[in-house]
């Protein structure tokens, strides 16, 4: 067990600045209008830094810097770009603990997650795209004896990126790594709830990139996000966030006829067929563990398995086991590696979850465990902690249909395969899903028939860099991860040459 010191206390691995600026053209630049906002840590509820409340003027400065840098960056050899990405990966890996403390302090998550998942994945993401860009090939087709079609990959130029607060660094890196690999310059806007950890990362890697290739402008959605997403000087907008915001982003982009990547909300089904309990073995254990994934990252995951569908014949024994497991989830100091669930990322999010706990009760759902605020002692008493909660109800309830984005799972039962699939697909969303069955045919068939971009079969919540990730239905457009991501950050030039 390790308990990391809080920032500001002796022995802390990270020292936040009391005030941050925007990162533009390789410099720390104050906001044009001089306004800042306070950023509290969800761990204690107390402010630890302030960051720019940027406006359209700051976005324009960042776009000036990005446009200045883009032509030269786009012409660098792929080997050079790959080397830089590998150096960024090495630098992050060498400072992983320090960045993990920053991420936990800014977001509230239990530090075991950035230490063991988010940040190792981020490191691997840079390395994966360093390799992918070097392995990318152009195309040549012979049209007839005298004519040849060449296909070249070209960067888009300057791209805008807007990210949410649940995985501030990993969501940033999912976008930054492929965009840089493909030769683009970036203007990135972090979420206003978690502006600081990504700035710690930028400070760490700033010297590895040419000035202006990566620019970070902080601020709120309408004041800073909209001027970026609706700007005529970007060639693409990549967005991760809520479906309602995604609709706006698409409208802005339509005015400039630019491509969008939208990674939006979810209400992921996690289906347990009756054979999971056929034996009391390692598989049964893994399936129960898969159920508890609703509490990973405090449930603030777009693919949170927030609807558990359990075959009627095993509902009682299965629920008894998973309720017991859920009650063993250790909540506490997020900087303690033994802690399994930390704080919700903001007070607003905490309040939203609490309101859904009321809604679930009002709708008549049964609370099997949890159902309220988690009371912690000392300076954690002011933080935003919620008990992991299991509701039992029916799929038409709001707690089954609306994204709560907290450690709350709504359980319904099903009679047979067709009932399970109909319930799983009865949702606006189509981002993630889980299927648990010892029977390969059932698992494969369900995996293919669930309308979601990512279906985990006999596992849950793995995010390897080389597996495509993205949404069906209202969960988004486009994919992230996988080398196909390079296509989202490049355009194709065709040269049709006659000899």
Q: Summarize as ranges the residues that interact with ligand NAD (CB under 6 A).
A: 162-166, 171, 189, 191-192, 220-222, 225-226, 229, 240-242, 245, 248, 263-266, 302, 403, 405, 431, 471, 476
Q: Please say which residue, 178 or 266, places its beta carbon nearer to ligand NAD.
A: 266
Q: Whole-number minimum distance, CB 74 to ligand NAD, in Å?
A: 25
β-strands 147-155, 139-144: how paired? antiparallel
Q: Whole-number minimum distance, CB 493 to ligand NAD, in Å?
A: 30
Distance CA 276, CA 274 (A): 5
Q: Please say which residue, 56 or 148, places its beta carbon nearer to ligand NAD.
A: 56
Asked if 451 contacts 430 with a C-beta cutoff of 8 angstroms, the reply is yes
What are the C-alpha distances in Å from 393 to residues 110, 321, 361, 370?
A: 29, 18, 10, 15
Residue with tokens 């990210």: 163
Distance CA 182, CA 74 (A): 8
| Residue 263 annotated to the active site | yes
First to last CA, the chain: 70
Q: Whole-number minimum distance, CB 459 to ligand NAD, in Å?
A: 18
Q: Whole-number minimum distance, CB 432 to ligand NAD, in Å?
A: 9
Other residues' Cβ atoms within 10 Å of the Cβ of residue 8: 14
Distance CA 367, CA 356 (A): 12
SS3 319: helix
For residue 1, how many C-alpha atoms fall within 13 Å in the half-sphere facing its CB?
A: 8
Asked if 233 contacts 255 with a C-beta cutoff of 8 angstroms, the reply is no
Q: Whole-number minimum distance, CB 3 to ligand NAD, in Å?
A: 28
Asked if 165 contacts 107 with a C-beta cutoff of 8 angstroms, the reply is yes
- What are the strands, taking DSSP E only, across 178-327? 185-189, 214-216, 236-240, 260-263, 269-272, 307-311
What are the C-alpha distances in Å from 188 to residues 37, 58, 101, 176, 179?
A: 18, 12, 22, 8, 11
Q: Please say which residue, 194 or 387, places its beta carbon nearer to ligand NAD.
A: 194
Q: Whole-number minimum distance, CB 190 to ligand NAD, in Å?
A: 6
Q: Whole-number minimum distance, CB 189 to ligand NAD, in Å?
A: 6
Q: Please say which residue, 240 or 410, places its beta carbon nearer to ligand NAD.
A: 240
Residue 206: alpha-carbon gap to chain centroid? 23
SS3 314: helix
Per annotation, catalytic residue among 21, 263, 300, 480: 263
Reported as type and span, the H/E element at residue 130 is: helix 119-135
Q: In 3D, which of 331, 354, 352, 355 has the Cα closest to residue 343?
A: 331
Distance CA 379, CA 381 (A): 5
Q: Whole-number minimum distance, CB 327 to ligand NAD, in Å?
A: 26
Q: Please say which residue, 302 or 319, places its beta carbon nearer to ligand NAD.
A: 302
C-alpha gyration radius of the chain: 23
Q: Please say which residue, 169 or 276, places its beta carbon nearer to ligand NAD.
A: 169
What are the C-alpha distances in Å from 211 to residues 69, 77, 133, 205, 473?
A: 7, 17, 21, 12, 39
Across the strands, what pairs with 239? 162, 262
Q: Whole-number minimum distance, CB 397 to ligand NAD, in Å?
A: 19
Helices 440-449 & 417-425 angle (0-180, nearest 10): 30
Distance CA 407, CA 287 (A): 18
Q: Please say which residue, 214 or 443, places its beta carbon nearer to ligand NAD.
A: 214
Q: Please say which residue, 153 or 267, places its beta carbon nearer to ligand NAD.
A: 267
What's the DSSP call for residue 275?
Answer: G
Q: Please say which residue, 417 or 472, places its beta carbon nearer to ligand NAD.
A: 472
Catalytic sites, residue numbers: 263
């Amino acid at each position: 067990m390790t308990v990391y010191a809080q920032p500001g206390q002796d022995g802390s691995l990270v020292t936040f600045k009391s005030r941050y600026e925007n990162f533009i053209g390789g410099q720390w630049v104050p906001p044009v209008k001089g306004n800042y906002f306070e950023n509290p840590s969800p761990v204690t509820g107390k402010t630890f830094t302030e960051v720019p409340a940027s406006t359209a003027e700051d976005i324009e400065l960042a776009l000036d810097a990005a446009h200045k840098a883009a032509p030269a960056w786009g012409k660098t050899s792929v080997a050079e770009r790959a080397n830089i990405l590998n150096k960024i990966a090495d630098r992050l890996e060498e400072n992983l603990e320090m960045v993990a403390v920053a991420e936990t302090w800014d977001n509230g998550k239990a530090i075991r997650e950035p230490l063991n998942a988010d940040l190792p994945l981020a490191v691997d993401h840079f390395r994966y795209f360093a390799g992918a860009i070097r392995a990318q090939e152009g195309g040549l087709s012979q049209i007839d004896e005298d004519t040849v079609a060449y296909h070249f990959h070209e960067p888009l130029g300057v791209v805008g990126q807007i990210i949410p607060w649940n995985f501030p660094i990993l969501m940033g890196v999912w976008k930054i790594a492929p965009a840089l690999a493909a030769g683009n310059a970036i203007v990135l806007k972090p979420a206003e709830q978690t502006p600081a950890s990504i700035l710690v990362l930028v400070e760490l890697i700033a010297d590895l990139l040419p000035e202006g290739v990566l620019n970070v402008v902080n601020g709120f959605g309408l004041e800073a996000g909209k001027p970026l997403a609706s700007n005529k000087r970007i060639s693409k907008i990549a967005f991760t966030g809520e479906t309602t915001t995604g609709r706006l982003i698409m409208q802005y982009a339509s005015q400039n006829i630019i491509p969008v990547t939208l990674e939006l909300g979810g209400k992921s089904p996690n289906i347990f067929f009756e054979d999971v309990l056929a034996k009391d073995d390692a598989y049964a254990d893994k399936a129960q563990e898969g159920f508890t994934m609703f509490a990973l990252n405090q449930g603030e995951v777009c693919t949170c398995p927030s609807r558990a569908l359990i075959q009627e014949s095993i509902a009682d024994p299965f629920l008894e086991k998973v309720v017991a497991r859920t009650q063993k989830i250790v909540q506490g100091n997020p900087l303690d590696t033994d802690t399994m669930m930390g704080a919700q990322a903001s007070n607003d999010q905490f309040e939203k979850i609490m309101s859904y706990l009321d809604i679930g009760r009002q709708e008549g759902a049964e609370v099997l465990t949890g159902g309220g605020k988690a009371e912690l002692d000392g300076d954690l008493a002011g933080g935003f902690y919620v008990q992991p909660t299991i509701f039992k109800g029916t799929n038409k309830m709001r707690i089954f249909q609306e994204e709560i984005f907290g450690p709350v799972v709504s359980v319904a039962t099903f009679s047979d395969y067709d009932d399970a699939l109909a319930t799983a697909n009865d949702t606006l969303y189509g981002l993630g899903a889980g299927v648990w069955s010892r029977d390969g045919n059932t698992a494969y068939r369900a995996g293919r028939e669930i309308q979601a971009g990512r279906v985990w079969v006999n596992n849950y919540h793995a995010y390897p860099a080389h597996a495509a990730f993205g949404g069906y239905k209202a969960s988004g457009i486009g994919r992230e991860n996988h080398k196909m991501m390079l296509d989202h950050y490049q355009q194709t030039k065709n040269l049709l040459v006659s000899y």
